[in-house]
Structure 1
Amino acid sequence: MKAYVFPGQGAQFSGMGKDLYEKSALAKELFDKANDILGFSITDIMFTGSAEDLKQTRVTQPAVFLHSVILSKVLGDSFKPDMVAGHSLGEFSALVANKVLDFEDGLRLVSKRALAMQHACEIEESTMAAVLGLEDEMVEAICADTKGIVVAANYNCPGQLVISGEQLAVEKACEELKERGARRAMILPVGGAFHSPLMEPAREELAAAIENTKFSNPICPIYQNVTTFAVTDPSEIKENLIFQLTAPVKWTQSVQNMIKDGATEFIEVGPGKVLQGLVKKIDRSAEVSSAEF
């Protein structure tokens, strides 16, 4: 069975999507439509902007989303998923690709999500840190014992977990994690504490937009970050998407459940190969590849 997976923030690179735009009339039409919806030329930034330009949250999230979604549409009849999943932001790409959201609604939600997260980051000094080489349970326990808000945010693969929270609490937890044997506990260059309780203002802002958006029946199950299990009910998908901003991204568990349900081949749709690397670390026997048009 084929599982199509969609990357999140951090997969962007200068020049992304340019080949799609130049080689496909459908891609050109969708990119031009995206410029109109967003009210600025995101294609200029994607195709010729610097890495610094692409780092702006209002740009990064729509850029990765557009690259993934437009590639899935250009694939046409060869895009035949048995199941889909997306890492954080990538969940929105997956929902457009499997027909739960239409292109325009998906892009508007992603743009709103990016701005809402940016606003939440400005309220309080916060950050995230990558932790390597410890069991998840130990990382969770140390976060729970640390004064202030710090939680496990991204379960990327066994031995690789990202924590998120208040700046001082994350720094303190990193010190403790290193003392307890972490191979690395490193602050990440991000704008704030994504997938933590500090994203509550963003969740509230995005919830209203999601509630007012039409969600249709999917063409195949989606394994969502919040629950990690196959979901096909539009109202359940909507509810999980609302809670995604303040809940951890359970990528390891999602991939394990996809494999348990029959996935043998994982095809990454979008920029980069980050998810292919994570899937191989979760299960070395899984086949991985990039979607190509």
Structure 2
Amino acid sequence: MRNPGPRTTVSLPAFCEGRMAASPLRLGPEKLFEMPAVLGRLSRYQSTSQAFAEVLRLPKQQLRKLLYPLQEVERYLVPDGRQDLHLRIFNPSLEDIARAESVFKATERNRIDYVSSAIRKDHAPDLPRPEVCFIGRSNVGKSSLIKALFSLAPEVEVRISKTPGHTKKMNFFKVGKHFTVVDMPGYGYRAPEDFADMVETYLKERSNLRRTFLLVDSVVGIQKTDNIAIEMCEEFALPYVIVLTKIDKSSKGHLLKQVLEIQKYVNTKTQGCFPQLFAVSSKCNCSLTTSHFSPDVLRLLDITF
């Protein structure tokens, strides 16, 4: 059984010791958004996309809202008493975002491809890279989020559908030589008949699984089926993260209510869950709307540049 590590450190030396957060490139909010300085600092990152460059030209307030969608509620998402960890999940620097692009952008040296699908763990491809998997209720937005992360690799087909239960198999995608992303079938409504055996066996026995992203609909919060998934992660001592989806469909007050309730749940009823929540918009049809998320995927895997 895997050891998820200490409750608050989550076995991430570079991240939890604050080395990444202490980078001299991190500036205060006002200087961060001074466009000449921003463009100058980003000029060293040749991988920065044209779309990202265009966004940098937006008015300061609009840019801040786009890149850091939960800035106004950020103080509610920092674990109590753990300010020393610099866990500002929703405030990656622009340099962090540009670096993350280099990992999620397909090039000749960094191939991002669909690998295969499997209906059972013993059908899964034998891959040497670390794996991260995305699980959640049917139609919670797993495939949409993965498609957004791969937006700089448009040739990679990630099928999405408004019909709940569209994903019936485990779909494997390689991200260069860095890691593999696994899109799991949704549980709950229209889940595959063999879902429990498929997912439970994978989570329990997949030796190179490094992190599980458990997606929860921010509109309805943690449901009974989510509880079962969380209990499974806890039973197998898996390090996992809760990701709130569809935050654009909740009012600020409702979102705060859900955030506080879920954070209390995490603090009192879990051991292996990362102590801070992530959040993404349901309108994640390009890398820009998830730019605050992709750098932290890499941090959670302890991938440096």
TM-score normalised by structure 1 residue count: 0.31
TM-score normalised by structure 2 residue count: 0.30
- Between Structure 1 and Structure 2, the one with more helix by share is 1
